[in-house]
Amino acid sequence: MKKIDVSILGCTGTVGQRLIEMVYNHPWFNIVSIAASERSASKKYKEAAVNWHLPMDIPEEIRDMTVVNTDPRETGARLVFSALPSDIAKEVEKNFAEVGCVVASNASAYRMEKDVPLVIPEVNPDHLQLIEVQRENRGWDGYIVTDPNCTTIGLAMVLKPIYDRFGLDTVYVSTMQAISGAGLPGVPGLLITDNIIPYIKDEEKKVMTENLKILGKIKDGEVKFADFKIAVSCNRVPVIDGHTETVFIKTKEPVDVEEAKKVLSEFEGEPQRLNLPSAPKKPVIVRNEEDRPQPRLDRMAGTVPGMSVTVGRVRQGFDENHLLLTLISHNTIRGAAGAVVLNAELLYAKKLL
C-alpha cells in the first residue's frame, strides 16, 4: 500500500520522541515532516532533540530532517500527530483542523470539549461520531480527535470491562507516576531521587473527568457522562517509565474475583477485531503472581510492546462489592504516543481519514 503522509507536531519532547520511534517504521504511515516550537524550528532534529532519552538511536532519516514550524503551510501532511503542550495546542490544532487536517492529538486542550471525541479505541470507538458534530459546529474542513491523559488510559481500559459486567459505584485511585510523564526537562533529578512528590498539577481533575467522559454513552450527538463517583490522588515516583495505579472499586453488583479476572483478561475491542498494527493481542493482561505488576517488568507488556495494560493483585476488599487491584501501563506508549497512533489507525480503518 502507499503509506499515508503524516506530520509530527511537538517532536522533541518525550512523547514526540516516542512518536518518532513508533511511526518511523510504521506499515501505514510515513513521516514527511516534524514540527516544534520556534526554538527548535529550522534546526536539524539531532540538534533540536538534545534530550533524546530512548535507548534506540534517532532513526537515520530523521536525524538530519529539519524541524519546521507548527504551521500547516510548512508541515505538508493532511494527517498530523500532536504531542504539543496543551496551551500551545489550543491555537495550533485549531489552525490545522480549519484548513482540513485531521489532528490526532495527545494534548489536553480539546479533550473535554463537548464535540471532540476523547477516544481509546478498545473502549469507546463509537465516540468518533462526534467528528461530524464537531465539523458542523465549528465549520472546520478537518477535525480533532484526542486521546486521554496517560493515567486515564490505563484506568479506563481496566474499568471498562468491570463497568460493563458489575457496574461501578465508586472508584478510588492512588497513582505512582513515572518521571517521563512530566516531559523534559520535567522533574529535576535533585527533587525526585529518594523521594516522592505527592502532587501533579491538574492531573487528578483530568483523570476524574476524562474517565467519566470516556465511559459515557453518546446520546443525541453528545456524551452523557458515566455516573460513578471517583476520587484520585496522584504521585510522582522515581521510576523512569510506567504508571502504577492502585485501585479500590466499589461495584454495583457483587463481584467475584475470578469472574473479574476473566472479563479483564478477555476484554478486547475494535483494534483487535480490525487487527490494527499497533493493537496488542490482549489489551489487558492479568497476572497472578502476588508481586506483579511491576513497572520495570511490565511496562513493555503486550504483543506490541508497551500497548497492553497489566493488572495484578486482583482481590476482594472488605465486602463482596469491593474489588481491589493494581494496574500498570506505559505512560508514553499506551498512555501517549501509542494512543495517538492507535487512534489514527482506527480512523483509517473506519475510513475516516
Footprint on this chain of a second copy (rule: CB under 8 A): 14, 51, 53-55, 172, 174, 176, 179-180, 182, 184-199, 229-231, 233, 235, 237-240, 244, 246, 248, 290-297, 299-300, 312-313, 317-319, 322, 324, 326
> What minimum distance in Å lies between the beta carbon of 5 and a second copy?
30
User: Closest CB to a second copy among 114 and 229?
Assistant: 229
Taking alpha carbons only, the member of 77, 67, 78 closest to residue 38 is 67
Instruction: Give the torsion sign (CA, 345, 348, 352, 353).
Output: positive
Rounded to whole angstroms, how far apart are CA atoms 146 and 283? 19
Give the angle 226-93-57 at the CA atoms, nearest 5°.
Answer: 100
> What minimum distance in Å lies between the beta carbon of 165 and a second copy?
20
Taking alpha carbons only, the member of 179, 4, 7 closest to residue 84 is 7
Amino acid making up residue 253: E
> What minimum distance in Å lies between the beta carbon of 271 and a second copy?
22
User: Closest CB to a second copy among 167 and 305?
Assistant: 305
User: Closest CB to a second copy among 38 and 291?
Assistant: 291
> What minimum distance in Å lies between the beta carbon of 13 and a second copy?
11
User: Closest CB to a second copy among 276 and 307?
Assistant: 307
> What minimum distance in Å lies between the beta carbon of 181 and a second copy?
9
Taking alpha carbons only, the member of 207, 223, 267 closest to residue 127 is 223
User: Closest CB to a second copy among 37 and 129?
Assistant: 37
Alpha-carbon distance values, 219 to 20, 162, 222 (Å) = 37, 22, 5
Give the torsion through C-alpha atoms of 273, 275, 279, 282, to 10 deg.
50
Active site residues: 150, 243
Q: Which backbone phi and psi does 113 adopt, to 5 degrees?
A: -70, 140
C-alpha cell at 257: 474475583
Alpha carbons within 13 A on the beta-carbon side of 141 = 8
| 120, 148 contact by CB (below 8 A) | yes
Alpha carbons within 13 A on the beta-carbon side of 334 = 35
User: Closest CB to a second copy among 230 and 341?
Assistant: 230
> What minimum distance in Å lies between the beta carbon of 236 and a second copy?
9
Amino acid making up residue 256: D
